[in-house]
A and B are shown apart, each in its own frame.
Chain A
Amino acid sequence: MTGDALAESLRVNVAAILARARVRVVASWRETSWVVGETVFPFLTMSAFVLVYRGLHAPKVYEAFVVLGAAMTAYWNNVLWSMASQFFWEKEQGQLQLYLITPVSRMSILLGMALGGMAMTTTRAIVILLGGMLLFGIELPAGRLLPAFGLFLLTLAAVYALGMILSSVFLLWGRSAWHTVTLFQEPVYLLSGFYFPVRFLGAAVGALAALLPITLGLDGIRQIFYGEAAHGFVPVPWIAPIEVALFALFLFLAHRALLLMETLGKREGRLTLRGQ
């Protein structure tokens, strides 16, 4: 590829990333009901779990575990519903074929979805965190915000890279994708320790759960904020390198999975629905 062609390809792909991300950012503010649905109501659901701990007279730090877990839940749900199952929706609505005939990488489309999804979900996560601090008196030590934010960004990168893999897999699974999302939702809330420290699941289950970047990220962020009281599972210094490794691995696998999905889909005629 010549220098000019490479530059043109880069320009087109960056434009595709921004365009796909923009759709989500604009859409998230277009519908008032979405803003309410994405912010106020998830906060109320999270409050139920905070009140469980309050009803049990648990130490305050456990309420903080729930708030941090709920903020991360928002991203996990976004990965499941707006990344993993998105290609499946796109196929059902006839847009997948349009993506496939454009001269851009499928990874650029997914990256755009991921960036837009992160922006969209951050509103919800911020409301949950602020609400937790203002209404439930949760404390996030200001001095530890920067390292926690750094680990959070690494976690998001790995989690959304996992979402890229799932988008291909879910597409091939067809209609079972719908129910697979359910399988990846509450069971992952349990395994990743969204509402309690993952260490209490035991070493074997915890190690299995640690294959999910969100488990490690949440464990690390809680440890950064609350130290020993967080009942950490993996030492904090290990978590960042593992997240980077998972990100690289998932990105590679996502690329392979997309190629496989496209090849298989074309061969078996599963990229479009009858009548499209």
Chain B
Amino acid sequence: MKAASWLGWQVEANWADPVLFLAYSFAKPLATTLILFFMVRVVAHGAATRETFLFLFLGNTFFLYVSEVLVGLSWVIFRDREDFETLKYVYLAPIRFVPYLFGRAMTKIATATLGTVVALLFGRFVLGLPIAASPASLVSLAGVVVLGLGGIVFLGVALAGAALIMARHSMNLNEGLTGTFYLLCGAVFPIEVLPGWAERLSLVLPFTYWLELIRRILTGRAYAAPLRAISDGGLVGILALSTLGLAAASLLWFRWCEHTARARGLIDWKTNY
């Protein structure tokens, strides 16, 4: 896992000097933050702007982990298999593939963390958002983020499994799935705005509880109306249980995909149109 993390870092960053690499890493979170900032600003006014924007800002900023890790892990398969043509050699090496993926995920988590921290500092000090950050809240935040990341990484493993049996351009599918989560977990709008069926789907996703917890920790109040009756401890419990369920389902799915890919000879597949 350590070697895979280092490999991931080299693949991601060894082509550029650190300053340039950081600039690339910050571009996405800052741009999406500003898009939402302008969207709110053009239609809302005064205090409503700041309060509403804070809700959007936190959801969008922490969702960066979901998009980076989910999409990133699928790309690991496509890049290793088709660009570097090294996937077959990884299979030949005396390592297990899932820990290898965990290692590669660490790189994605590191870059997502950089982006998230910069976006939070930008929100706090440039946009003047009232984000509370006592030492105790930071510890709680770190715990909740790590717990949520567990679910994200396991879902990433599931998508990596799907990537093993899909052509390269199916990347759109994985990116689209991230967009679906962006829609359903209420990253940028209250989930009560969703139609009833979509709201029920939202309540099945661990990310919905994860983002609500993060918002509560950083602002001290509840946001999503359907979750107001649930205490912080209750949300942590739901998040932990759903992460465990997701982990089990993802590992089973990955094993099936891996078996199928090997049976069909797809480990060194090349697809490009």
Q: Do A and B come from one complex?
A: yes
Cβ–Cβ contact A93 & B183, under 8 A? no
Knowing A51-B193, A179-B24, say if A41 contacts B172 (CB, 8 Å): yes
A187 to B31, CA, bound (A): 5
Q: How would residues 256 to 268 of chain B score, 1 for a CB under 8 Å from any chain A CB and 0 otherwise?
A: 0000000000000
Task: Assess whether B241 is interfacial by the CB under 8 Å rule.
Answer: no
* Residues of B with C-beta under 8 A to A45: 176, 179-180, 182-183
Task: Assess whether A56 is interfacial by the CB under 8 Å rule.
Answer: yes
* Residues of A with C-beta under 8 A to B174: 37
Within 8 A of A (CB), among B31-86: 31-32, 34-36, 38-44, 52, 56, 82-83
Cβ–Cβ contact A52 & B188, under 8 A? yes
Within 8 A of A (CB), among B3-29: 15-16, 20-21, 23-24, 27-28
* Residues of A with C-beta under 8 A to B40: 52, 56
A1-9, A147-155, A157-165, A192-200 - interface stretch = A192-200
Cβ–Cβ contact B193 & A41, under 8 A? no
Task: Assess whether A263 is interfacial by the CB under 8 Å rule.
Answer: no
* Residues of A with C-beta under 8 A to B272: 89, 93
Q: How many residues of A contact B (CB 8 A)?
A: 50
Scoring A48, A59, A93 by chain B CB atoms within 10 A of each residue's CB, the highest score goes to A48
Chain A, residue nearest B34 (CB): A190
Within 8 A of A (CB), among B142-194: 166-167, 169-177, 179-180, 182-183, 187-190, 193-194
Cβ–Cβ contact A53 & B167, under 8 A? no
Q: How many residues of B contact A (CB 8 A)?
A: 48
Q: Would you give the shortest CB distance from A55 to chain B, in whole angstroms?
A: 4
Within 8 A of B (CB), among A189-239: 189-190, 194-197, 200-201
A30 to B44, CA, bound (A): 45
Chain B, residue nearest A193 (CB): B38
Cβ–Cβ contact B270 & A93, under 8 A? yes
Q: Would you give the shortest CB distance from B172 to chain A, in whole angstroms?
A: 3
A62 to B167, CA, bound (A): 37
Apart from A37-B175, A201-B38, what are 15 other A-B pairs with CB-CB below 8 Å?
A27-B273, A31-B166, A34-B173, A41-B175, A44-B179, A44-B183, A49-B39, A55-B190, A176-B15, A176-B20, A179-B24, A186-B32, A189-B32, A190-B34, A200-B41
7 smallest CB-CB distances across A and B, nearest first, come from: A41-B176, A45-B179, A37-B172, A27-B273, A37-B173, A186-B31, A58-B43
- 23 A-B contacts (beta carbon < 8 Å): A26-B273, A34-B170, A34-B172, A36-B173, A37-B172, A37-B174, A41-B172, A41-B175, A42-B176, A44-B179, A53-B39, A55-B193, A175-B15, A179-B16, A179-B21, A180-B24, A182-B24, A186-B27, A186-B35, A187-B27, A195-B38, A197-B42, A201-B38
